[in-house]
Amino acid sequence: MLFDIFLVLSVGAGLLMAFNLGANDVANSMASAVGARAITVKQAVYIAGILNFVGAVFLGSHVTATISKGIINPAVIDDPTIVMLGMFAALVSAGIWVLIATLTSLPVSSTHSIVGAILGFGLVAGGPGVVNWYTMIGVVLSWIISPLFGGLIAYGVFSVIRSRILAKPDLLERARRWAPRWIALTVFLLGMSFMYKTPMGKGLEMSFIVRLAIILFFCAAAWVPAQLVVNRLCARLTSDVDGVEGIFRRMQIGTSCYVAVSQGANDVANAIGPVAAIFMIARHHELLPKAEVPLFLLIIGGAGIALGIALLGRRVIATVGERITTLTNTRGFAVDFGAASTVLAASSLGMPVSTTHAAVGSVVGVGLARGFAAVDFRVLGKIVLYWVLTVPIAAFTSIVIFQILKWTLT
């Protein structure tokens, strides 16, 4: 009876987490496009809602490899009922913290929220020995690695665009030559990201050479039509900065759409992973290292993400896209490129990264390309404070909820 009750409650808690995940993390994919006026907030909400749902349901992880996010070893805790209560407490506490951050319009890492919450109940239920402290050190390091890498890459990309295109007298002709190169490079980046970051890409049984050959084929295939489209576009655009921004506006919409699909595929596990663990315990009264995620849970997760984007998504989008620095389409493209490159490169090297931190770092990077006065450090300071507070607050809240449940029900 207790298992069945908590199974229903955990689905509700997973929906709450998915809702808040959508409301806060949507800024990772859409903030730069909205800030650069490539699309409106309303369009961003529709696009991100649909693409996140598609990514979560059709490309989302059907197997949560490490339900505890690698932070604790649940096998050390003998009683599965304790694990079930802890996972439920972690979901609720992480959802509450991300909701608070969203209502104050500040971006936080949903991954770090669930990590901190699981850490909290793990410490109380199993003691310090149950915690994987090396993973925790990695989480702390990612507070520095993700924004620093994102900022450096975005700064470099925008500096190249400025020196090769915007600073030249024949800037539209320069853009006509360079845009297809950037598009091909972006296709390479997105192809690598799809192959090695999304659950569907990881599931393809191909060697590295075959994967690389497929990606390079699509890069070459994208170059030729891109050149034709840009040539036709340049015939209708004015030979000034506005003309160049018009080309990059279309490129930026494409990168934002991809990030939205990828975000739904990867982040839905943050909300549904703990629910899958509780589902397994409720059905089999034990927790295995891996759990099959039923399709209906992915649909609930995708719907929750889309609902969160629709109702509260514009708050964090406005902060990241408009309040840190002023974005144009060329700067927005550099932001998307910097964030995606950081997540891909760092993940490939086994380094822990946060998409939220990489996106904010990239926005700061393109802002600093115009000098320190171009960045609002008061807004940035509040964001960094929330990043540092995420793990301890999620952990403390999880401990409180877990203890109340334990004292009441066991």
pLDDT on residue 288? 66
- Tell me how far CA of residue 238 lies from CA of 121, 167, 242, 247, in angstroms: 60, 16, 7, 11
**Alpha carbon distance 324, 137 (integer Å):** 28
**Alpha carbon distance 375, 167 (integer Å):** 22
| pLDDT tens-digit series, residues 315-374 | 899 999 889 999 999 999 899 888 888 877 776 666 656 788 889 999 999 999 888 889
**Alpha carbon distance 229, 100 (integer Å):** 44
Read off φ and ψ for residue 131, nearest 5 degrees: -90, 135
pLDDT on residue 325? 92
pLDDT on residue 99? 94
pLDDT on residue 338? 86
The whole model's pTM is what? 0.86
Which element (helix H / strand E) includes 70? none
Mean pLDDT, each 10-residue run in order, the chain (410 residues): 81 90 85 86 87 76 52 78 88 94 92 88 88 81 84 93 90 90 86 74 79 89 88 85 89 82 74 81 71 79 88 90 91 87 72 80 92 92 93 95 87
pLDDT on residue 341? 82
**Alpha carbon distance 234, 33 (integer Å):** 21
b/e map 154-166, b = 16+ CB within 10 Å: bbbbbeebbeebb
**Neighbour tally for 257: CB within 10 Å:** 18
**Alpha carbon distance 166, 174 (integer Å):** 8
Given a contact cutoff of 8 angstroms between Cβ atoms, the answer to whether 122 and 399 are in contact is no
Given a contact cutoff of 8 angstroms between Cβ atoms, the answer to whether 314 and 113 are in contact is no
pLDDT on residue 59? 67
